[in-house]
Amino acid sequence: MPIIVQKYGGSSVADIEKIKNVARRVAKSRDAGNQMVVVVSAMGDTTDDLIALAKKITAHPSGREYDLLLSTGELVSCTLLAMALDSIGYRAVSLSGAQAGIKTDTEYNRAHILGIDPKRVVNELNAGNIVVVAGFQGITQDQDVTTLGRGGSDTTAIALAISLKAKECHIYTDVDGVFTADPRLVAEAHSLSEINYEEMLEMANCGARVMHPRAVELGQMYNMPILVACTFNEKPGTLIHGGKDMEVKNKVTGIAHDMDVAKIMIVGVPDRPGIASAIFEPLATAGISVDTIVQNASIENITDLTFTVAAGDLDKAMKVVMPIAESIKARDCISNSRLGKISIIGAGMQNTPGYAARMFTTLSEKNINIHLITTSEIRITCIVDDDRVSEAVRALHRAFELEKP
């Protein structure tokens, strides 16, 4: 029998009725002749509630204690789902991350999976059980519980699917799949039937929240097909895969956007080796992720260096950058936190001219000023004022005819 790994997020198991709904969905896949492994997140706001408890005690909880605390949320939901399956006549067993053999490093709060020992899971499947695994958690060599950080449960599911040689990994969530653009901004946006790993990675990195890039990357590395679909309806969802069978579509696949963007511009920087590293090394040390970096062509050995960070990191970043700008004798250092990022993404854009031009023309027709431009092989990104993002996304969705299936 083929193995299917399904993952249900926190909103899919937020209350008892929803857990029963998940049990019925899992049972249906089982009836269709699959061996089932189900990964669950904690119920609804459980993780936030546990974090709030810890914060009442200390602003800086030990990573080890914090992870053992947070790991209880998934234990509760996975045992309840196993009970719900059992109560409708399907034998099921719940496993903690430790019991499921999820081995991690000791980076508490953001541990990485080092490997999976699937012995117990395989034994339970062979015994005819549906296996319900607590997502988002693993165990170190010293038997200490870790959590996997952002995108953790998706990563658990995909890693399990890979180690079990599953046929597919299904990620169930509260949206219908991967959309051509955010449907809250664009009424005509629709769910894609398929997308390849590269496009999905660009979408995820550029603000589409449906899956964490880390989980997509893992799927891509092992070529594990990932279906993203909705827990609450029967719509087919979006299949993320290697793209071998995909028709080459001379087309933009989707538009991602992110409102959480701030820009720092260091003006009048002497253009000599070592300057970039003098700026970006200390930012990395301070734990600040730098997104887009643009350096203008140098005029008389003086250049401007611009980069973006998450808006929430701006104050911290400025504290790092200001003294450096001074020490390298830059003329000025200015910031803007009221920015947004819009990206058009599509494998079909590779080696095909005209996409960038059409994007810039569309924005210009709407009188939307472009602060920065960056591109990858399958993506073009523009930074614009945040109050123009919605309008820009709608205009681009029309310009690239994404309303057509």
Footprint of its own copies (CB under 8 A): 16, 19-20, 50, 53-54, 56-58, 60-62, 64-66, 68-69, 71-72, 75-76, 78-80, 82-84, 86-87, 92-94, 96, 98-99, 120, 143-145
CB of 96 to its own copies, least distance (A): 7
State the minimum distance, in angstroms, from the CB of residue 50 to its own copies. 7
Q: How many CB atoms lie within 10 A of CB 196?
A: 19
- Closer residue to its own copies, CB minimum distance, 76 or 310: 76
- 3-class secondary-structure state, position 117: coil
Those residues whose C-beta lies under 8 Å from the C-beta of residue 345, and which sit 6 or more positions away, are 199, 202, 203, 206, 252, 253, 254, 255, 256, 378, 379
| Beta carbons of 218 and 158 less than 8 angstroms apart | yes
Rg (CA), the chain: 23
Which residue's CB is nearer to its own copies, number 87 or number 223?
87
The nearest distance, CB 81 to its own copies, in angstroms, is: 9
Q: Residue 346 and residue 342: Cα distance in Å, rounded?
A: 14
Nearer to its own copies, 20 or 167 (CB): 20
Closest to its own copies by CB, 32 or 53 = 53
Closest distance to its own copies from the beta carbon of 78 (Å): 8
Strand pairing category for 3-8 and 35-40:
parallel
Taking the complex as a whole, the smallest distance from the CB of residue 137 to its own copies amounts, in Å, to 12
Q: Pairing mode, if any, of strands 379-385 and 302-310?
A: unpaired
Q: Give the span between the Cα atoms of 339 and 352, in whole angstroms.
A: 29
Q: Is the Cβ of residue 55 or residue 235 nearer to its own copies in the bound state? A: 55
The rounded distance, in Å, linking the Cα atoms of 168 and 158 is: 9
Distance of closest approach, residue 33 Cβ to its own copies, in angstroms: 24
Q: How far is the CB of 51 from its own copies (least distance, A)?
A: 12
Q: Which is nearer to its own copies, 77 or 306 (CB)?
A: 77
Decide: helix, strand or coil at residue 372: strand
Taking the least distance from each CB to its own copies, the nearer of 16 and 334 is 16
CB–CB of 37/167 below 8 Å? no
